[in-house]
Chains A and B, each alone.
Chain A
Amino acid sequence: MMDPPIDPLRAQGEIGDWQQRLARALEAAERLPAPTAGVTPVDVRLPIGRRAELLGYYPGGDWQGKDSAAPPSEETAPSPQRQERPPVLIVYSLVNRPFILDLTAERSWIRRLRAAGHPVYLLDWREPQGADRFISLDEHIDGGLAAAAVTIADRHDGQKPHLLGICQGGTFALCLAALRPNLLKRLVLLVTPVDFATPEDRLSQLAQGLDFERIGERLGNISAHWLNAFFVALKPYRLLSQRYLDFPELAEQPQALEDFMRLERWMYDSPRQPRAAFTQFARDFYQRNGLLNGTLELCGEPLTLDQVRAPTLNIYAAHDHLVPAAAAQALRDHIGTPHYREIAFAGGHLGVFISRRAHRELLPEVLAWLATGP
């Protein structure tokens, strides 16, 4: 079979075009903001535990923001008591900031849930300070997550919230569902690791030989730069090369360029990891695989997955390089509830939050599942 002839001069033109597009894209990007928060205005902020904060978003909200010109009267202002659908509590990972769920108005999980009539509460773990190095995982679960669920129920006439756990936050949500089953209504898990020892799990393989106690003792709260470097090192070719080589393609696409810049900021704007909780998670979950092996103990109680009785929707990404599909699928053989459903999303880890397809196909399924059954 004859190969098509290659024009050597074409390379020169290609490089020239790329440089011109790069210059235009950089010029356009210069004017764009670099936000470190979501796009949806927060209706209420409530302190939780020693460090965390609960951000509330009510249906009919946005009166503080840009969606309407003037604030509503007292009668029409959003309030937690006026809603009919159960509230949703979102718990995100400690590793990144949760505004990925609210990165743009068009692709915001928070807006979609709120638009469906759910008061939405996002648990923000916030940046740990020096003394927070001693806050354990037990305290995050019991003093943070459980306290948030209780606070929400108090504000909604005793109505228990649905719990939406994401990535590491999903693992926390599972722990809460096992330890305090009476605090939640339904459980939705997004890209949540359950089995931390699957063959494809590169994070787990790297974690096995590390002395986390010693690292925590010396580094204190784990630097975000270290952790970012660790994650980037799992996909360096894509994240450090291809991503930026593709960047000039966005020169003539203002919205895509803005999305790129927002995502770029989010990727590297990470909080530090509180030492005690980080060490505990790495040791008990990654090194001992305690959630699956049934050896986990939290808040002074043994914890097994068969204690989880809440109806559960487990969504995983088929091409996830951080939480392999098998790591999430493991839940089906160990969970206690008979009301269990799985959805495989054909994409990667971040695609579940920010891809157009997730918002077109996945979110309606989640909303429908929340609306059914007990």
Chain B
Amino acid sequence: MERGESFSTLWLEQIDAMQALSELWQALATPPAADDGTQAAAAERSAAIAEACTRLQERLDTLFAQAQRAATALAREPGDHPSWPWTLPLEWEPLRTLARFGPLQTEQQRGVECAAAAQRCLQAQLHCLELLHESACKGVERLQQRLHPTPPAAADTATTGATTGSATSGPATSGPESAGAQREASEASGTVDTGRSEPPPGEAAADQRARPESLRALYQLWLEESEQAYEELLADPRWSRAFSELMAATTELIAGYQEGLDRHLQALDLPNRSDFLDTQRRLDRLEREQPLQERDRTAALSAEVARLQREVAELRADLTELRRLYAHHPGAKGRNKP
């Protein structure tokens, strides 16, 4: 940002995000336990970590809310009557009926269908975003658990995600897949594995907390926990359904645009998608038929050559026989040979 430039909302948000990260870093810098053994310092540290993680989740909530607002600004609830006549949305139900009247009804209906497809696509995107937001929040929850594990009994009352409301997970262990992928990426790129230090097995929950000593190690923890949360989302049937709906909605939206564009090009007597497909289909047929025709032609030629060879052989045999007969014929002497 240039000096003197006014602070934009985006810039403020970025500062806010850095602030939340800085708070988490400060919380980790808090001495975990006083030398006199009191629990006050530990509790204070735990509260600071929880507070910082909550701030991080709030950042995710803000981002999601912004996306949601942008999407809902374009959409309208069913039954929501717009102010007549300037802001009529094409998906408005009475307009759908009106689109069936008049000489341009086919065009009008196509327009309405296209608008409905756009609306459906938007909703599908929003639903996917909602699930991704949930997963990202879960990743922060898991990070918090790694930094300061909550004993199982207290887990139910521990600070949870700002919007997800899902139960706090236990200390995560990275699966073989993520560990393998990490090893693979490191080996392939030649980079150094800066992964976390594994807590020794069998220790109490309080001693299983991760102790990142650098920002990079903290990032690594966040990455591993977020990835684990994302893996769970991928395995969730809700995600498969949301993804399928997104793909179907996008396909139908593209179909709508294709048909619209096709009509416009046709009106200008320019080749459109249908024309190209027709040409390509004919070309495909020709390419398939050509080798077959060549094969048939080659086979016919081979048969013809074989027939001619046989005929030549027969003629040669006849000629030989004629020569033989002629040589023994009494009147052959003194005359030209055949």
Other-chain residue from B26, B188, B276 in contact with A351 (beta carbon distance below 8 A): B188
**Which B-chain residue is minimally distant from A211 (CB atoms)?**
B248
**Which B-chain residue is minimally distant from A321 (CB atoms)?**
B177
Q: How near does chain B come to A216, taking the closest CB pair, in angstroms?
A: 10
**B residues contacting the other copy or chain, number (CB 8 A):** 54
**Which A-chain residue is minimally distant from B189 (CB atoms)?**
A260
If the complex has contacts A8-B29, A319-B177, are A347 and B184 also in contact, measured as CB distance less than 8 A? yes
The total of interchain contacts (Cβ-Cβ below 8 angstroms) comes to 154
Question: A249–B287 contact, CB under 8 A?
Answer: no
Q: Does B300 contact A (CB under 8 A)?
A: no
Which of B196-220 touch A at CB < 8 Å? 207, 209, 211-216, 219
Q: Does A69 contact B (CB under 8 A)?
A: no
If the complex has contacts A211-B251, A348-B184, A357-B187, are A205 and B234 also in contact, measured as CB distance less than 8 A? yes
Q: Does A346 contact B (CB under 8 A)?
A: yes
If the complex has contacts A7-B29, A211-B248, A319-B176, are A259 and B234 also in contact, measured as CB distance less than 8 A? no
Question: B287–A50 contact, CB under 8 A?
Answer: yes
Question: A205–B235 contact, CB under 8 A?
Answer: yes
Question: A246–B247 contact, CB under 8 A?
Answer: no
If the complex has contacts A3-B32, A5-B29, A211-B251, are A238 and B240 also in contact, measured as CB distance less than 8 A? no
Which of B245-294 touch A at CB < 8 Å? 247-248, 251, 254-255, 258, 276, 280-281, 283-284, 287
**Which B-chain residue is minimally distant from A358 (CB atoms)?**
B187
Q: Does B320 contact A (CB under 8 A)?
A: no
Q: Does A333 contact B (CB under 8 A)?
A: no
Q: Does A66 contact B (CB under 8 A)?
A: no
Question: A134–B280 contact, CB under 8 A?
Answer: yes
Binds A, one of B63-71, B73-81, B152-160, B222-230: B222-230
Question: B25–A133 contact, CB under 8 A?
Answer: no
Which of A174-211 touch B at CB < 8 Å? 200, 202, 205-206, 208-211
How long is the Cα–Cα vector from A354 to B240 in the complex, in angstroms? 32
**Which A-chain residue is minimally distant from B285 (CB atoms)?**
A134
Q: How near does chain B come to A97, taking the closest CB pair, in angstroms?
A: 17
Q: Does B190 contact A (CB under 8 A)?
A: yes
What B residues does A236 contact at CB under 8 A?
230
What A residues does B283 contact at CB under 8 A?
131
If the complex has contacts A208-B240, A237-B223, are A347 and B28 also in contact, measured as CB distance less than 8 A? no
What A residues does B215 contact at CB under 8 A?
10-11, 14-15
Question: A318–B180 contact, CB under 8 A?
Answer: yes
Which of A220-239 touch B at CB < 8 Å? 234-238
**Which A-chain residue is minimally distant from B230 (CB atoms)?**
A237
Task: Provide the main secondary structure of the chain A interface.
Answer: helix
Q: Does B181 contact A (CB under 8 A)?
A: yes
What B residues does A241 contact at CB under 8 A?
223
Task: Provide the main secondary structure of the chain B interface.
Answer: helix
Q: Does B43 contact A (CB under 8 A)?
A: no
What A residues does B98 contact at CB under 8 A?
none
How long is the Cα–Cα vector from A8 to B219 in the complex, in angstroms? 15
Question: B281–A237 contact, CB under 8 A?
Answer: no
Q: Does A253 contact B (CB under 8 A)?
A: yes
Q: Does A355 contact B (CB under 8 A)?
A: yes
Q: Does A341 contact B (CB under 8 A)?
A: no
What B residues does A259 contact at CB under 8 A?
188-190
Q: Does B62 contact A (CB under 8 A)?
A: no
Question: B251–A14 contact, CB under 8 A?
Answer: no
Between A and B, 23 residue pairs with Cβ closer than 8 Å are A5-B31, A7-B29, A10-B214, A14-B216, A130-B276, A135-B284, A206-B244, A210-B247, A214-B248, A218-B251, A218-B258, A219-B251, A235-B227, A237-B223, A237-B226, A246-B186, A247-B189, A259-B190, A263-B189, A347-B180, A348-B180, A354-B188, A356-B187
Known: A6-B25, A208-B244. 10 other contacts (CB 8 A): A6-B212, A6-B213, A7-B29, A11-B215, A131-B280, A210-B244, A211-B248, A218-B258, A236-B230, A260-B189
